Structure 1
């Protein structure tokens, strides 16, 4: 059976797209999945984290992380999904050809969105792109502050965007950045932490949604 292709997309910068990609990839790998990550974002933040990861004393070999140019995405995905359980794409934050192709080839497009009016309004462009490419979308509430009335209100507004919203929400947690600075994912650095449990749950939910999609 071919692996599932999951693209992380969000045209608004600063929504936590690459952070989400890194922690999800590690969560799947930690759960025994064979995972490859394609970094096609010109900022190459994920590739920088991968280089740091390789310098660790224990040098984890999973997930497999590769930086490629956007025009190669479709052909590369066709090959990789034969050998991997999950092909995860960290797409660039714009609607040009590379991002469009990454959305087009996906079984599921995961869109991180912070509970703020600016993120709400800016996310519509990403949803429009997914609709144009006939791609299934899962919105993920990211960096949710604890006990926030605004978060509750924004959660209701986000639910009206017309796309499915993940049941698992991600809190605004320092541990996520700390793990990345160590070249690790949160499910490696602190699997029993609240953040670790959130990402383990989200990884299961996303993969289930991709399978249904």
Structure 2
């Protein structure tokens, strides 16, 4: 079976794309899937994290890295499809040609959004890009505080616009960043933590969404 391509994109920078991509990749790898991560962001944050992971935890859940220029993405994905179960693509911010190509190639697009007006305003163009490329999109509410009115207001506005929102929400938890600092995913770093439960639930939800689309085809 060909690999599932999961693209992580958001027009606004700093929304947590790389952390989301790495955390999901580890969660799927820990379940026994063959997982590759592809970093086409010039900042190379995912590639640098992967290099640190390999140095510190060579026996951890295996993740293959493809660190390629965006214009080579199509060729690289063709090479990876038959070798892996899941391929997670981390993209540059803004609606650049490389990000658009990654969205087009994806089976699903994950869009992290933080509780801020800027994130909210940046999300609609990213969803529109997915619509134009005929790629299913799923908004992931990220770094949500335990209390406060802003997340509720944002959720209401997203729902009013009919945008696709994941049921699983990720809290503003230190464990996500701390695990990345160790070259790990949170399911390895603190497997019994709330953060680990959240990312595991999201990993399950993404797979269920993909299977649901398969049944409707």
Partner of 1:124: 124
Deviations 1:153-200 (A, max 9, x none): 211112233331000000000111110000000011011100000000
Matches for 1:142-181 after TM superposition, within 5 Å = 142-181=142-181
Matches for 1:1-213 after TM superposition, within 5 Å = 1-60=1-60, 62-213=62-213
Distance 2:64 2:52 in 1: 14
Kindly indicate whether the alpha-carbon contact (under 8 Å) linking 2:107 and 2:135 is maintained by their aligned counterparts in 1: yes
Normalising by structure 2, report the TM-score: 0.94
Deviations 1:34-73 (A, max 9, x none): 1100000001000110111011155425121221111111
Unaligned runs of 5+ in 1: none
Kindly indicate whether the alpha-carbon contact (under 8 Å) linking 2:139 and 2:165 is maintained by their aligned counterparts in 1: yes
Distance 2:3 2:211 in 1: 9
The alignment covers a number of residue pairs equal to 213
Kindly indicate whether the alpha-carbon contact (under 8 Å) linking 2:30 and 2:61 is maintained by their aligned counterparts in 1: no
Kindly indicate whether the alpha-carbon contact (under 8 Å) linking 1:142 and 1:172 is maintained by their aligned counterparts in 2: yes
Kindly indicate whether the alpha-carbon contact (under 8 Å) linking 1:39 and 1:89 is maintained by their aligned counterparts in 2: yes
Normalising by structure 1, report the TM-score: 0.96
Distance 1:57 1:75, change over 3 A: closer
Task: Give the SS at the match of 1:165.
Answer: coil
Unaligned runs of 5+ in 2: none
Task: Give the SS at the match of 1:164.
Answer: coil
Kindly indicate whether the alpha-carbon contact (under 8 Å) linking 2:29 and 2:61 is maintained by their aligned counterparts in 1: no
Distance 1:32 1:13, change over 3 A: same
How far residue 79 of structure 1 moved from its aligned partner, in angstroms, is 2.4
